[in-house]
Amino acid sequence: MTYLFDPPPVPVLPIAGSDKLFPVHRIYCVGRNYAEHTREMGFDPDKEPPFFFMKTADALVTDGRFPYPAASKDVHWEIELAVALGSGGNDIPRSQAMQHVYGYGVALDMTRRDLQGVAKKMGRPWEIGKAFEKSAPCSAIVPADRCGHPTRGAIWLDVNGERRQTGDLSQMIWDIPSQIEYLSGLWDLRAGDLILTGTPAGVGAVRKGDRLEGHVDGVGDLDVTVV
């Protein structure tokens, strides 16, 4: 048997210090995982457990160029630590969660905030706001055997040279082991899955030509231009 047409290419991320590629399976994203960002979105972080949505793996951007997407006039930046899984499973207890983490990256969860807002108001799914083409710029994956497993350290985003988002990894409401435990109770986690772990406060709208420079202490940097 042969394919009816050529299957799409496997989405990949480079691996720092390696000539191997990291093949991406799924992209899970946690919503409202930093208290201050939860408040800026109009919610109470004490009253609401975090929740997840997905982006498609083919939404990854690795060339540093984010094309301003269709149908939106309010496209927001969200800088996030990305966790890359090297193995997976179901019902992974938090005590064993970290052994499934291969490495880390610096990612942007680009968001059509206006369309997401309509979806929220109408109780509709979030894909229209979150899972559009090129919505997930990401750095190379840094293996944990090079960078360790960061639990604290600065995460920030500069837009055109001005600091717009700042936070610390220790401010996550749900830490990484909790996210893996929770996700693995709902889905089959696999090698190649990415988890975007939420964004600190300071989200805002991009314009064409903007330069987004993100950083996570101990992991690295991401440099993206809106085209």
Binding site for Mn ion (CB under 5 A): 78, 109, 199
Host H or E run for residue 222: strand 220-226
For Mn ion, the closer of residues 30 and 189 by Cβ is 30
- For Mn ion, which is the closer residue by CB, 13 or 196? 196
Residues 29 and 56: beta-carbon distance below 8 Å: no
Under DSSP, is residue 34 helix (H, G, I), strand (E, B) or coil? strand
Supply the minimum distance, in Å, between the C-beta of residue 93 and Mn ion: 26
CB of 79 to Mn ion, least distance (A): 9
CB of 6 to Mn ion, least distance (A): 32
Query: Which residue's Cβ has the minimum distance to Mn ion?
Result: 109
Residue that the structure tokens 């301003």 belong to: 68
Which one-letter amino acid corresponds to residue 185? Answer: G
Calpha distance 86→88 (Å, rounded): 7
Give the nearer residue to Mn ion in terms of CB position, either 109 or 181.
109
To which H or E segment does residue 88 belong?
none
* CB of 109 or CB of 193, closer to Mn ion: 109
Least distance in angstroms from the C-beta of 189 to Mn ion: 19
Report d(CA 102, CA 148) in Å as an integer.
10
